[in-house]
Amino acid sequence: MEIRAELRPTEDLERILKAIRNVFGVEEYRVVDEEPYKIVVAESRDIKSLLKLHELLRQSRILDTARKVMTSGRREGVIVFKIHKQGAYAGKVSFVTFDTESPLGPIEVRIYTDKPDEVIDWLAPKTSKGKPLWNRPMPEV
């Protein structure tokens, strides 16, 4: 998994890291220079890094939205989606369709896997009347 967030001149690195850590279980990061901003990049090779996201999607009752966003962002070997940086700072997951929806730039998430359907089914199962139709175990990827 790779998580990327712009670090704009008016932003504090610790606040960006807090936003990322509120949603994902990652500790290591690096800051890279890219035009026009620096980018905070956090990575993990452990699917357990997605446990916070897994729980937040259920607490927020946004499984259907999450499933739609993740499914539309599924490509060969990767699931790509973006979340609102300020929402993540507050411990909430709010998906971003267009970068302009997050004034300070979104947090971009890339989950690399050869089993994207299993990951999506675990994170955001189909629902009926707001209840998950299944609860899959964490996939082994």
pTM, entire model? 0.94
- At 52-78, the pLDDT tens digits run 999 999 999 999 999 999 999 999 999
CA distances from 40 to 28, 64, 70 (A): 10, 29, 22
Neighbours of 11 (CB within 10 A): 18
Domains, the chain, with CATH or none: 2-132 (3.30.1440.10)
Q: What is the pLDDT of residue 141?
A: 76
Q: What is the pLDDT of residue 131?
A: 87
Mean predicted confidence (pLDDT) in 76-90: 97
- Residues 126/135, Cβ–Cβ less than 8 Å: no
- At 105-129, the pLDDT tens digits run 999 999 999 999 999 999 999 999 8
Q: What is the pLDDT of residue 99?
A: 86
